[in-house]
């Protein structure tokens, strides 16, 4: 265990490329998850927390960087409505995106916009050019998640599958083609998508009942 003096000597601030390299090597040697060991053995003078954060948000393989696509934006907005500020859960539905990135994106782009109440519809053109996100979401690498999260994700997965069977061309758990999404539509906590879903099937309420205990 780290003593107080060691803690105060810990380096902070931005990571240098050479530190990234050392961290990468250490993760390869000691494995993802042993952050205390990695912190100690790397000689980086970075806390385990700091190492974990850097790895998770920047160095991990398959990290997608750059602008969010319209699909991703749409999915974030809808999942945020359903799940609230469960960034890790939301990020789990966006292959290659991290919870920190999703959170930052929400805080800087989306929350502001929805507060301002700017009316902007998702263009049908954009909707038509959507990538098969639903399929991709089945393939994203498994992360270390809590049992609750695993359970919540499995409920969402089965929901996606069911809705795809329902012939709705669902590309995300909560978006349907031909249903224009209003960014400033009134915030009806969580249920609006499920109510919408409920118009077609009883699944909506079932999903909500299933997922609520995990939230």
Partner DNA sequence: AACGCTATCAACCGCTCTCGC
Partner DNA sequence: AGCGAGAGCGGTTGATAGCGT
Among 126, 149, 162, 210, binds DNA (CB under 7 A): 149
Collapsing DSSP to helix, strand or coil, 31 comes out as coil
The footprint of DNA on residues 162-181 (CB under 7 A) is none
Paired with 121 in beta bridges are 182
Cβ-based nearer residue to DNA, 14 or 125: 14
Contact between 193 and 207 (Cβ < 8 Å) = no
Q: What's the angle, vertex CA 193, arms to CA 169 and CA 112, rounded to 5? A: 110
Cβ-based nearer residue to DNA, 144 or 167: 144
99 binds DNA (CB under 7 A): yes
Sign, CA torsion 85/183/205/163: negative
Q: What's the angle, vertex CA 119, arms to CA 83 and CA 114, rounded to 5? A: 35
187 binds DNA (CB under 7 A): no
Number of residues located near DNA, criterion CB under 7 A: 44
Report how far residue 175's alpha carbon sits from residue 37's, in angstroms, rounded to the nearest whole number: 43
Cβ-based nearer residue to DNA, 6 or 200: 6
Long-range contacts for 17-21 (Cβ within 8 Å, ≥24 apart)?
Answer: 19/44, 19/46, 20/54, 20/58, 20/59
Among 41, 45, 104, 121, binds DNA (CB under 7 A): 104
Q: What is the largest CA-CA distance in the chain?
A: 61
Smallest separation, CB 147 to DNA (Å): 5
Smallest separation, CB 189 to DNA (Å): 15
Where does this chain touch DNA (CB under 7 A) — which range of 129-137, 142-150, 169-177, 197-205? Answer: 142-150
86 binds DNA (CB under 7 A): yes
Helix, strand, coil shares of the chain as percentages rounded to 5? Answer: 60, 0, 40
118 binds DNA (CB under 7 A): no
Which residue ranges make up the site for DNA (CB under 7 A)? 1-2, 11-15, 33-37, 46, 48-50, 52-54, 57-58, 65, 85-89, 99-101, 103-105, 107-109, 112, 143-149
């Amino acid at each position: 265990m780290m003593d107080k003096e060691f803690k105060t000597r810990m380096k902070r601030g931005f990571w240098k490329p050479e530190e990234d390299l050392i961290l990468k090597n250490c993760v390869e040697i000691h494995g993802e998850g042993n952050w205390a060991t990695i912190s100690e053995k790397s000689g980086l003078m970075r806390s385990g927390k700091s190492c974990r954060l850097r790895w998770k948000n920047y160095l991990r393989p398959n990290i997608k960087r750059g602008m969010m696509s319209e699909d991703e934006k749409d999915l974030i907005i809808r999942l945020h409505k359903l799940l609230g500020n469960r960034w890790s859960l939301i990020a789990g539905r966006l292959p290659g995106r991290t919870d920190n990135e999703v959170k930052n994106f929400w805080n800087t782009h989306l929350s502001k916009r929805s507060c301002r109440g700017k009316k902007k519809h998702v263009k049908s053109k954009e909707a038509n050019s959507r990538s098969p996100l639903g399929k991709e979401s089945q393939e994203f690498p498994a992360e270390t998640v809590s049992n609750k999260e695993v359970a919540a994700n499995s409920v969402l997965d089965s929901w996606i599958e069911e809705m795809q069977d329902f012939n709705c061309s669902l590309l995300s758990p909560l978006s349907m083609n031909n249903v224009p999404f209003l960014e400033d539509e009134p915030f009806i906590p969580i249920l609006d998508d499920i109510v919408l879903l409920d118009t077609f099937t009883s699944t909506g309420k079932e999903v909500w009942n299933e997922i609520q205990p995990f939230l």
